[in-house]
Structure 1
Amino acid sequence: MSRNLSIQELNNRFKEFFLLEGFNYIEPPLVVNSDIYFETSGEQIRKDMFSVSSAQGTEMCLRPDLTIPTCQTFLKDNQHFDQAKLCYSGPIFRSGDVNNSIELNQSGIEILSTNMIKEDNYQEEVDIINLAIKTLNNINKVNFDINLGDISIFIEFLDCLDLPQRWKDRLKRHFFRRDYFESLLKRIELGIGFNETRKEDVLKKHLGIKVDISDSDLKERLMNINAIEFGERSIEDIINRLNVKSENIISSEKGVEIVRVIRSFLNINCELEQLPNLISNFAKEEDEHQFDNVIQMASNFSKKIKLGIGNTDINFKTDFGHSIEYYDGIMFEIEDRDNQSNKLLVGGRYDSLLNNLGLDNRASAIGFAVNNNNI
């Protein structure tokens, strides 16, 4: 049984299995530049990193995961090829896992491509999940549950909300930083923007102008106020900026309602085949047509994944809560059914990570890692 295998034996078993599946084995560097983890990884990884400063002042760290150094290795060599199936087995270094163990161990695979246009058929996602299941079955692990999420569905949901774009962008950018994400929701509840009351205060109190004045009349009045120093900004710019700010208002009442809708969406937790119906029911309770794109996206996602995976039970969460910030599509984890806090394997799609590492072209990147210490 797998629980009798040592870490080294697991490393060898996984390596042999991945090689048979057509992957090329690499050994990513143990020490890497810390900056990329500060920019792309989750708060927990950043807290658990072991970092030191080099003689040149560059902050370096013992690798806290293997995905990023694997991608860096791929990009260094991709002048010779534009796609690769890479695998690895080896230590990572974090302070906060498995009874504060410093050295942990992972075995995993990454499928990386450049100059690739990704289609919405989810075939790579299906293949990677099936391979993850097969990987665990290969060491006689069969008693587990699969949890699934997709950050792109949440992003599509945000795009449907009546919320200023800059606030949508903030919520997207900080979704994985949950404390800060919560603080953003609380700020929305309090009301945001430059409201009509503030606009009226500026025009009436400071300039002696009625708030219902037309833009043309406002321009004429401003041109006659010699005491105002406009600097390099034109009067038209000032008027446009004032109008834009007043249009971006979210009142406290409206903010509370928007946050309620966001929290309601993030509470969806169901079997994958139930996802389209739950999203449809959610939309009917809110605004039946506002979320049509989300319904279509969730339906396509559920259908393609379920069809490709077969009879395997899969649970879907809109609030997947993954701790790795560089995931930008599907995210999944396989946990021990007898101990749900025991994550056997984690993975997902992270196309944008290759671009953050310096790639200019379109990219496709997806993979997973087995937590060998939890086997």
Structure 2
Amino acid sequence: MTGPAPTGPAAWADTLLQSFADAGYERAQPAILQPAEPFLDLSGEDIRKSLYLTTDPGGEELCLRPDLTIPVARDYLASSRAGQPAGFSYLGPVFRYRGGRPSEFQQAGIESFGRKDHPAADAEMLALAIEATATAGLAEVDIRTGDVALFTALIDALELYPVWRRRLIKDFNRKRTLAQDLERLAIAEVAPRNEYEGVLAALAGSDRKAALALVTDLMSIAGATAVGGRTVAEIADRFLEQSTLKSGALPRDALDLIKRFLLIAGTPPEAVKQLRALAADARLDISAAIDALDARAGLMARRGIDLAKVRFATSFGRGLDYYTGFEFELHRKDNGDEPLVAGGRYDGLLSQLGSAEPIPAVGFSIWVEGLANSSAAGKTLRGRAS
């Protein structure tokens, strides 16, 4: 979308929503009051301090919606269209404690459910996100992209212990601990002998399901459900971690390959070339993930996105466990640590929300406040209610 930015009260919002409607995304307006459980389950108890919580007469914990993705997904699953391709747009207030900034703020965006043409759907999300910033009057934005599925494919190809796989992927999503853990796992820890040495030896290299079943049974026999504030799952994970670390170090060749992988960056075509070279050199079968990146880049170009202006980095991620594949952020050019728009693929969410069958999902959210502060037209939207 090009041309001068729209002016006048609410013109920016109306134009934005109309552009989403023209692209086939119908308006969603989920309830402001939501069950708190899905947010706590998916984001962890740490998010509790940011939520505005209450309890209904039946004892169910409720919250003012802190974002719109989960509410839109819940409404979709409750509809007759669940499992079928469907796309939704939204614009409305969300509520989250932000330490000195207003706790009520506007969020806009798109969620796309059920599409099986993943590269095309991913490319469409990025194209629509760029169009949204152009609608607000920003001629250029800094486009940052990545793909957690590539990192997952690499770890799977290395055939590491399950606990290492889970921990490294979790670290990648949370970023701040990945570099530290790479070095720690490369050095075998020499822990003092203890009375449960045999249990640790039995668990070494096993999967999480088996460890969880064992720890659950042991704690059930002992009549305990938690110890020191840790849940059964957390205790099982700790046993797995200790058993694996005692069994030996992360192989040095695996560590070196992970580090080489995380240095790959450039335009999407450049990244594809580097990834294919790494895979061939290391004899790793990660071609499916690389092919998906290559296909997505081609579809981006067909949508008019200048790939020379798109930065792809294998180390890029949004710092959340939420995403399963393509991720992206749009920032104000040459000045912006906080994204104006952010999103990506989250294929596991709908199953976590209760879907019996996996449903692909991809989308993005617009921080209206940030966009309003970064553009001339966006300021007309400040404080607008849904």
TM-score higher than 0.5: yes
Aligned-partner Cα distance in 2 for 1:258–1:46:
37
Secondary structure of the equivalent of 1:124? helix
1:344 aligns with 2:330: no
Provide Cα deviations, 1:47-72, integer angstroms capped at 9, x if missing partner.
53333344444332221111110000
Q: Is the 8 A contact 2:172 2:178 kept in 1?
A: yes
Q: What corresponds to 1:215 in structure 2? A: none
Q: What corresponds to 1:362 in structure 2? A: 358
Task: Please list every run of 5 or more consecutive structure 1 residues that lacks an aligned counterpart in the other structure.
Answer: 203-244
Selected match of 1:35 from 33, 37, 51: 37
Q: What corresponds to 1:101 in structure 2? A: 102
Provide Cα deviations, 1:266-324, integer angstroms capped at 9, x if missing partner.
2333222211233245457xxx2442x235632x2343222222224211122223133
Provide Cα deviations, 1:232-284, integer angstroms capped at 9, x if missing partner.
xxxxxxxxxxxxx99996534x4566445434422333222211233245457
* Stretch deviating more after TM superposition (171-180 or 147-156): 171-180
Q: Is the 8 A contact 1:272 1:302 kept in 2?
A: yes
Provide Cα deviations, 1:131-182, integer angstroms capped at 9, x if missing partner.
2222222333221021111111110011122521232133334542345656
Selected match of 1:147 from 127, 144, 147: 144
Q: Is the 8 A contact 1:35 1:59 kept in 2?
A: yes
TM-score (norm 1): 0.73
Q: CA deviation at 1:82?
A: 2.2
The alignment's C-alpha RMSD in Å is 3.5
% identity of equivalent residues: 26
Q: What corresponds to 2:65 in structure 1? A: 63
Q: Is the 8 A contact 1:63 1:92 kept in 2?
A: yes
Cα separation, partners in 2 of 1:323 and 1:64, compared to 1, 3 Å: farther
Secondary structure of the equivalent of 2:173? coil
Q: Which amino acid aligns with 2:167?
A: R
Q: What corresponds to 1:76 in structure 2? A: 78
Q: What corresponds to 2:188 in structure 1? A: 191
Aligned-partner Cα distance in 2 for 1:273–1:331:
16
Provide Cα deviations, 1:323-346, integer angstroms capped at 9, x if missing partner.
332211111111111313241211
1:272 aligns with 2:268: yes
Q: Is the 8 A contact 1:149 1:318 kept in 2?
A: yes
Secondary structure of the equivalent of 2:158? coil
Secondary structure of the equivalent of 1:87? strand
Q: What corresponds to 1:223 in structure 2? A: none
Aligned-partner Cα distance in 2 for 1:35–1:182:
32
Q: Which amino acid aligns with 2:265?
A: N
TM-score (norm 2): 0.71
Cα separation, partners in 2 of 1:34 and 1:296, compared to 1, 3 Å: same
Q: What corresponds to 1:306 in structure 2? A: 297
For 1:42-53, list aligned pairs within 5 A: 47-53=49-55
Q: What corresponds to 1:294 in structure 2? A: 286
Say how many residue pairs are matched.
319
Secondary structure of the equivalent of 1:351? coil
Q: What corresponds to 1:14 in structure 2? A: 16
Provide Cα deviations, 1:60-93, integer angstroms capped at 9, x if missing partner.
2221111110000101113577232111101112
Cα separation, partners in 2 of 1:104 and 1:255, compared to 1, 3 Å: farther
Q: CA deviation at 1:355?
A: 0.7
Task: Please list every run of 5 or more consecutive structure 2 residues that lacks an aligned counterpart in the other structure.
Answer: 199-241, 372-386
Bigger strand fraction: 1
Higher Cα radius of gyration = 1
Q: CA deviation at 1:45?
A: 5.2
* Stretch deviating more after TM superposition (67-76 or 168-177): 168-177
Q: CA deviation at 1:37?
A: 1.7
